[in-house]
Structure 1
Amino acid sequence: MASNIREKHVAVFAFPFASHPSSQLKLARRLASAAPTVVFSFFNTAKSNRALFAELSCDNILPYDVSDGLPNNDVFVGSPLDAINLYLPGAEEELRRAVRVAEKDTGLKITCLVVHAFFWFAADMAEEMNIPWVAYWSAGTCSLAAHFYTDLIRQKTGSKGPDDEITDLIPGLKVVRLGDLPSEVVFGDLQSPFAIMLHKMGRNLSRASAVPVNCFQELDPDLAKNLSSKLNNFLHIGPSNLISKEKTPLKVDEFSCISWLDNQKTRAVAYICFGSAFTPPPRELVELAQALEETKTTFLWAIRKDSNKHFPEGFLERVSANGMGKVVPWAPQEEVLNHVAIGVFVTHSGWNSVAESIAAGVPMICRPILGDQHLNAWMIERVWGIGLRIEGGIFTKHAARRALEQLLSSSKGPAERIESLKHLAHKAVAPSGTSTQNFKSLVEVVISGSA
């Protein structure tokens, strides 16, 4: 086999926003390690590549820059969605151009496309090149199913509203609230570039040679079984945080979060973090802060410094002086979640955070903001039973107080259920586990070079 592999050249298309590029680089590194004589060209925007490869070198992964859609290297001003809408119109042409550059540089024709599933046009590119394409989904099975079945969902829902709960709307999912589906499926701006991209993705997934997912199949067995019957090589290969952590150097805990947690009571601390891209509105930050103080909940809160001005007057000084809380601009999240002091994770329900919380066995309080986060929160509360969505969907002092007291008290249900899922997640990535075996199947598709 080795003599055949040396001529292989795999193109990896990263979606250059939020945590997507780092997730795809993790996948590329796993593949590059499993196939050391294959060349992997990694296509991403210059800004994102600089961040990813600043402290990383891998002999068989070569970064290539593509345009972010901004004219003349202008400085971008706008929302994350604005940035995506600027990037998308030229993405296909830019990636095709960059592929030609990489082929010329290496002297090797591309033999496989490993792309973020968003890039539905890779189906046409792979067909033209007569090579396999791999559509990687970096989130959960539930959200992928929503996009795969978008046409079916739209046919079934008719005039129903966002508060309606529909049984058997998505094959493999017993019931779901319409308003918790990603907004691009039913109720959002269905003609936006992002919504159109997701719709086309769902329609083209069945053309992929393989569809790996950053999840483990035991989490949603019915959804996994259904999609496995519809897609080629539908492969659960995660959660990636359990697989790649031993290969990734830990960031320095510059704000001493772990040493602070070492001095707290077991399972008594609320860890609060809403990701790097979005934060709840200022009023909600005030309400959550007030609930923390009134319940005397010990907490570690990771939040951007520019949000500190929204806290109640004197809040930071009081919680620091009495030792009740610690507010930092960044925390080593996986280490924090795996600390014995953490009893609950207050989160936006982004997939990476959900996967890390499950892997650590920490129940969640969810305040979803956008994208797949609402559906993840539905699964956390109503399907898996491992946490709560904040009552009413936004932080009020009453809702936050109630959720904190419920999950940090003697309520053992969510803690016991997430401990069970934690065991299944760790088992899936063990040497004989399902995710490990599925990854071996993925490697075979990637190095085969035949569509």
Structure 2
Amino acid sequence: MAPAPAKAQPHVLLVSSPFQSHVNPLLRLGRRLAGKGLSVTFTTALRDGIRVFEAGRPVACVVANAFVSWAVRVAGDVGLPCAILWIQSCAVLSVYYYYVYSLAAFPSGDEADSSGAVTIPGLPELDMDELRPLLIYTSDQEMWRQMLVGDLGSMTEKAPWVFVNTFDELEHEAVAGLRKHIPLIPVGPLVEPDDGGVDDDDVHGCTAWLDAQPRRSVVFVAFGSLVDIGHDEVVEIAEGLASTGRPFLWVLRDGNRALLPKDALIDACGGDRGKVVPWCEQRRVLAHAAVGCFVTHCGWNSTVEALAAGVPMVAVPRWSDQRINTRFVVDVYRVGVRAPATPLTREALRLSVEEVTAGPEAEAMAARAAILGEKARAAVGGGGSSDRGVQAFVDRITSGGAEP
């Protein structure tokens, strides 16, 4: 008698918007799902998902990230369960939820220009300077507001699972507060572990350069793929880094680097003391023992990567969720400082780096950052809080269930 054919692995279709900051977290979640036995297909286009169906590979569940609410609708139309991955913090999701559904007293009209505080369960009081970039939209941003409202509707009405790129030990109060309204599952930090292997993407020699630097000596500067830096600020950052007297690694896109006068670049780098590159594998740099400080815009992906690596931060927030992330980094987690000037000036940068690396609170910040890094690794390790959430989802999909 022939043996029974092996049971096919349940197949999950991941659907992402094409932005790199959206793609990376969903890919990392997909790798974890695949590591637990699910078959995973990733796409940024509906036609690719249709090809999956046409190829005879039935889909058990769709996992979509923010701003592709059409995927949730399509999944519902064909009777498939759908999960959503929220790639910002649980705190920011709480702000959006309480604002859209009028569950907290937000200033309106002329009051929106005030500095009044807003109270949301599980969060510290937030003022309008922190909230305004999230909640006040210009006419050319109306599309984003409509997409956000659609996402929140999907979370509350159609998606039995809402994954969040956070971990319970980091945002326990925010998760507990919002879980009363949304079926949250913390699955973060969605950061690839550093296996210590060769980095095939290190075309600019960052690892070799870092290997030659003393432990916790390097100032790492990166502002993400969307933050634009003008000529004057580029020069100020270069002069500020030079004035710290510390080795630095600065990610400066080619378009911005063209704004930097050659003599300023030479003065800043001081021989081999500084290294300027157009791109690097950020998580690997942050995980390197030579890095002691991260100057960042505080986008959530960058913030989570720094927290997971246990690296203190100098926050230079610009827009969107970055001011709220900064508030948590500085006042809640207490693992960084906010630069006192935006646009950044050389003196503000020098003072901020000095405070994080050698100030009276520097060692305490580093110790707290290291503890958070340990908690982050434990959360995604076997049996950790986020690992249990992923496993519960896999078990439900494997058993054929559609509800958590």
TM tier relative to shorter chain: 0.7 to 0.9
Distance 1:277 1:147, change over 3 A: same
Of 4, 10, 19 in structure 1, the residue corresponding to residue 21 of structure 2 is: 19
Contact 1:111–1:449 (8 Å) recurs in 2: no
Query: Using the alignment, how far apart are the partners of 2:228 and 2:197 within structure 1?
Result: 27
Of 388, 392, 402 in structure 2, the residue corresponding to residue 441 of structure 1 is: 392
Q: Helix, strand or coil: the match of 1:394?
A: coil
1:272 offset after TM fit, Å? 0.7
1:242 offset after TM fit, Å? 4.6
Contact 2:249–2:276 (8 Å) recurs in 1: yes
User: What does residue 199 of structure 1 align with?
Assistant: 149
1:116 offset after TM fit, Å? 0.9
User: What does residue 226 of structure 2 align with?
Assistant: 277
Q: Helix, strand or coil: the match of 1:229?
A: coil
Contact 2:130–2:323 (8 Å) recurs in 1: yes
Contact 2:242–2:269 (8 Å) recurs in 1: no
User: What does residue 253 of structure 2 align with?
Assistant: 304
Distance 1:292 1:9, change over 3 A: closer
Contact 1:258–1:336 (8 Å) recurs in 2: yes
Cα-to-partner distance string for 1:368-423 (whole Å, 9 max, x where unaligned): 23322222112211222111222133201221122112112133332222122112
Please provide the CA RMSD for this pair: 2.7
Of 373, 377, 381 in structure 2, the residue corresponding to residue 422 of structure 1 is: 373
> Is 1:134 the equivalent of 2:83?
yes
1:13 offset after TM fit, Å? 1.2
Query: Using the alignment, how far apart are the partners of 2:192 and 2:281 within structure 1?
Result: 15
> Is 1:260 the equivalent of 2:209?
yes
Structure 2 runs not aligned, ≥5 long: none
Distance 1:182 1:221, change over 3 A: farther
Contact 2:105–2:118 (8 Å) recurs in 1: no
5 Å-filtered alignment, 1:31-430, equals 31-36=33-38, 38=39, 40-44=40-44, 66=45, 95=46, 99-106=49-56, 108=58, 110-151=59-100, 152=102, 156-158=106-108, 159-161=110-112, 164-168=115-119, 170-181=120-131, 183-189=133-139, 192-207=142-157, 208-232=159-183, 234-242=184-192, 245-246=194-195, 250-410=199-359, 411=361, 412-430=363-381
1:221 offset after TM fit, Å? 0.9
Query: Using the alignment, how far apart are the partners of 2:304 and 2:391 within structure 1?
Result: 21
Distance 1:340 1:112, change over 3 A: closer
Q: What letter is aligned with 2:43?
A: F
1:192 offset after TM fit, Å? 1.4
1:432 offset after TM fit, Å? 2.0
Q: Helix, strand or coil: the match of 1:230?
A: coil
- Aligned-residue sequence identity (percent) comes to 29
1:342 offset after TM fit, Å? 1.6
Distance 1:9 1:283, change over 3 A: same
1:176 offset after TM fit, Å? 1.3
Contact 2:340–2:348 (8 Å) recurs in 1: yes
Q: What letter is aligned with 1:259?
A: A
Q: What letter is aligned with 1:365?
A: V
Cα-to-partner distance string for 1:252-307 (whole Å, 9 max, x where unaligned): 42222222223323322211111233332221111111122233232111212232
Q: What letter is aligned with 2:95?
A: A
Distance 1:3 1:429, change over 3 A: farther
Query: Using the alignment, how far apart are the partners of 1:272 and 1:216 within structure 2?
Result: 25
Q: Helix, strand or coil: the match of 2:351?
A: helix
Q: What letter is aligned with 1:142?
A: A
Distance 1:373 1:322, change over 3 A: same
Query: Using the alignment, how far apart are the partners of 2:99 and 2:70 within structure 1?
Result: 18
Contact 2:9–2:37 (8 Å) recurs in 1: no
Q: Helix, strand or coil: the match of 1:240?
A: coil
Cα-to-partner distance string for 1:285-335 (whole Å, 9 max, x where unaligned): 111111222332321112122322322440222344533311122223223
User: What does residue 88 of structure 1 align with?
Assistant: none
Query: Using the alignment, how far apart are the partners of 1:429 and 1:300 within structure 2?
Result: 28
Cα-to-partner distance string for 1:198-250 (whole Å, 9 max, x where unaligned): 12212331221111112111101110111222222x1111112155x549973
Query: Using the alignment, how far apart are the partners of 1:362 and 1:133 within structure 2?
Result: 35
Query: Using the alignment, how far apart are the partners of 1:424 and 1:141 within structure 2?
Result: 17
User: What does residue 450 of structure 1 align with?
Assistant: 402
Distance 1:290 1:431, change over 3 A: same
Distance 1:111 1:247, change over 3 A: farther
Query: Using the alignment, how far apart are the partners of 1:303 and 1:19 within structure 2?
Result: 17
Distance 1:102 1:265, change over 3 A: closer
Query: Using the alignment, how far apart are the partners of 1:326 and 1:409 within structure 2?
Result: 22
Query: Using the alignment, how far apart are the partners of 1:121 and 1:252 within structure 2?
Result: 33
Query: Using the alignment, how far apart are the partners of 2:203 and 2:238 within structure 1?
Result: 24
